[in-house]
């Protein structure tokens, strides 16, 4: 029986995890689909590139990976301490490499922080802390690949 990631991941116990994600309904991630006679091998490079991009943004290191025909495996280390050490600006810059962020964050990162009122700056601080938590969250790492990998 499957369990939610939140019930399986305990950074207090270990920062290391083996993650598997599968395609469903005979969908092919990579390689040759013998049912449709189509080749999806070109996707392998896309997946490897995306994993590298995400590991550069998140505080999650990829120790090993394998991309198979209908699934992939990752061995990762979640580094929550690294995410905690990042400044607010670095957190916002990292997050906005993947997502747009709200207009206030975009204005702040564009150098218009001195034009924002105190309430907006406090809101940006709160947003940064939410992003910081996500940047060392295994679920966000796995789901972000998707926009979706399979």
Calculate the average pLDDT of the chain: 88
* Judgement on whether residues 68 and 142 belong to the same structural domain of the protein: yes
Q: What are the backbone angles phi and psi of residue 121, rounded to the nearest 5°?
A: -65, -40
* Judgement on whether residues 110 and 127 belong to the same structural domain of the protein: yes
The DSSP code for 141 is H
* Judgement on whether residues 18 and 67 belong to the same structural domain of the protein: yes
* Judgement on whether residues 60 and 10 belong to the same structural domain of the protein: yes
| Domain total in the chain | 2
* Judgement on whether residues 73 and 117 belong to the same structural domain of the protein: no
* Judgement on whether residues 50 and 98 belong to the same structural domain of the protein: no
Q: Which domain holds residue 57?
A: 5-81+135-146
* Judgement on whether residues 125 and 68 belong to the same structural domain of the protein: no
Q: Which of 16-30, 50-64, 101-115 has the highest mean pLDDT?
A: 50-64
Task: Give the CATH number, domain containing residue 21.
Answer: 3.30.70.1290
Q: What is the pTM of this model?
A: 0.83
Give pLDDT, residue 24. Answer: 76
* Judgement on whether residues 69 and 141 belong to the same structural domain of the protein: yes
Say how many C-beta atoms besides its own lie within 10 A of residue 106's C-beta: 13
* Judgement on whether residues 115 and 139 belong to the same structural domain of the protein: no
The larger pLDDT score, comparing residue 61 to residue 26, is at 61
* Judgement on whether residues 34 and 62 belong to the same structural domain of the protein: yes
Q: Kindly report, residue by residue over 116-149, the tens digit of the pLDDT.
A: 999 999 999 999 999 999 999 998 998 875 444 3
Give pLDDT, residue 1. Answer: 62
């Amino acid at each position: 029986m499957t369990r939610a990631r939140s019930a399986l991941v305990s950074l207090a116990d270990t920062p290391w995890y083996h993650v598997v994600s599968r395609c469903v309904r005979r969908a092919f991630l990579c390689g040759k689909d013998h049912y449709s006679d189509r080749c999806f091998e070109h996707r392998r490079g896309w997946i490897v590139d995306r994993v590298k991009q995400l590991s550069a943004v998140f505080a999650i290191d990829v120790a090993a990976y394998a991309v198979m025909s209908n699934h992939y495996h990752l061995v990762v280390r979640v580094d929550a301490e690294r995410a905690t050490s990042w400044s607010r600006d670095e957190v916002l810059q990292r997050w906005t490499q993947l997502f747009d962020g709200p207009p206030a964050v975009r204005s702040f990162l564009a150098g218009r922080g001195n034009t924002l009122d105190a309430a907006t700056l406090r809101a940006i601080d709160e947003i940064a802390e939410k992003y910081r938590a996500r940047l060392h969250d295994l679920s966000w790492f796995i789901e972000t690949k998707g926009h979706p990998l399979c």
